[in-house]
Amino acid sequence: MLPDPSGQATRSDDELAPGFAFTPWTFAVDAAYQARKLACCGIDPAIWGDVLDPSHFALLTIRHVNRDGFSINGSVHMIQHYRQHAPVRIGEEITLQGRITGIEPAPRGTLMHAGFEVVRADGSIAMELSRTSVRMDQEGERKGPGSAAARAENPDAPALGLARIGEKQLTPEGVGNYSDDKMNRIHDDPEIARQFGFRAPIAAGIMGSHIMMEALVRDGGGPPQQLAMEVRFRRPMFWDELLTVTGERTNGHLSRVALMKPEGKPACFGLVDSVSYGSRG
């Protein structure tokens, strides 16, 4: 890992062992925050009404790691799971709590698995999230984790052959502003990106999650009330790329959604296990 630009990295990664619990963090996400982040992704925040895009909490779990004194500089998101039991409202006070669930070596560095819960003031759990990220060595562009058997089965297969929904143009301004906390300079500093083997800065993977969530909202006519979804980040999204949004509907709703790079390979894709919709708040 490179030195941490946030100035908050005061602890060694050696502490991040399975079972390590992060300090519970209580906060509320306001409308300005949601609007600012979604604008960076080319998304109208009005589609969410008065509820929050679950993708925000994926980003905030990363910030949670840094907030507890650990560097995230050079860390790359690989897999994200969402299990939303009920939507969280704009301005609602919640507590984020989580722990490390696994650590394992990978060809490009170390894989870190973590699980988090979004807890309401009454103690109920609004959302459960889990994430896998690779804390990269500086040896060139990363390859996805997985066994030879998994690679033989083509991990891109769920993202292939889907119908075109639309497109999104990434911009250096949007990608840089999305990661305006400067915790991970791989998103806005060309030299840092080159040190990790990328031709240009890469978008935070969660920007892809926001774009795929937008597709779900538009497909369902409003924000999901309950949602179980897995997102896999397959390739870097460079800050100047035009992405094609694709999807497939099963049983009346989007069951697969993907962002395809200009060369026709998936940057990321989402597998929707279940989703239900209600009226907008």
- Has residue 136 got a pLDDT over 80? no
Q: 277: how many CB neighbours lie within 10 A of its CB?
A: 18
In a domain, 205, yes or no: yes
Q: Given this model, what pLDDT does residue 265 score?
A: 98
DSSP E strand stretches across the chain: 25-28, 75-84, 93-106, 109-120, 125-136, 163-169, 224-233, 242-250, 253-260, 266-277
Q: Given this model, what pLDDT does residue 146 score?
A: 47
Q: 89: how many CB neighbours lie within 10 A of its CB?
A: 17
- Report the number of distinct structural domains present in the chain: 1
Higher pLDDT, 2 or 209: 209
The pair of structure tokens assigned to 15 is 């502490």
Q: Given this model, what pLDDT does residue 66 score?
A: 84
- Has residue 39 got a pLDDT over 60? yes
Q: Given this model, what pLDDT does residue 165 score?
A: 97
Say what the pTM is: 0.88
Question: Whole-number mean pLDDT of the chain?
Answer: 90
In a domain, 144, yes or no: no
In a domain, 150, yes or no: no
- Has residue 151 got a pLDDT over 60? no
Q: Given this model, what pLDDT does residue 13 score?
A: 79
Residue 149 burial (10 A CB sphere; 0-12, 13-18, 19+): exposed
Q: Given this model, what pLDDT does residue 152 score?
A: 62
CATH number of domain containing 60: 3.10.129.10
In a domain, 151, yes or no: no
CA 94 from chain center: how many Å?
A: 19
User: Which letter does DSSP use for residue 56 in this model?
Assistant: H
Q: Given this model, what pLDDT does residue 138 score?
A: 55
* Residues sharing a CB contact under 8 Å with residue 191, sequence separation 6 or more, in sequence order: none
Q: If you search the block for the tokens 């040896």, which residue do you land on?
A: 139
In this structure, of 101-110, 111-120, 167-176, the range with the lowest mean pLDDT score is: 101-110
Higher pLDDT, 279 or 181: 181
Domain span at residue 66? 13-138+161-277
In this structure, of 37-46, 102-111, 195-204, the range with the lowest mean pLDDT score is: 102-111
pLDDT (average), residues 25-38: 98
The three-point CA angle 37-229-103 to 5° equals 85
User: Which letter does DSSP use for residue 140 in this model?
Assistant: S
In a domain, 154, yes or no: no
In a domain, 195, yes or no: yes
- Has residue 150 got a pLDDT over 60? no
In a domain, 149, yes or no: no
In a domain, 84, yes or no: yes
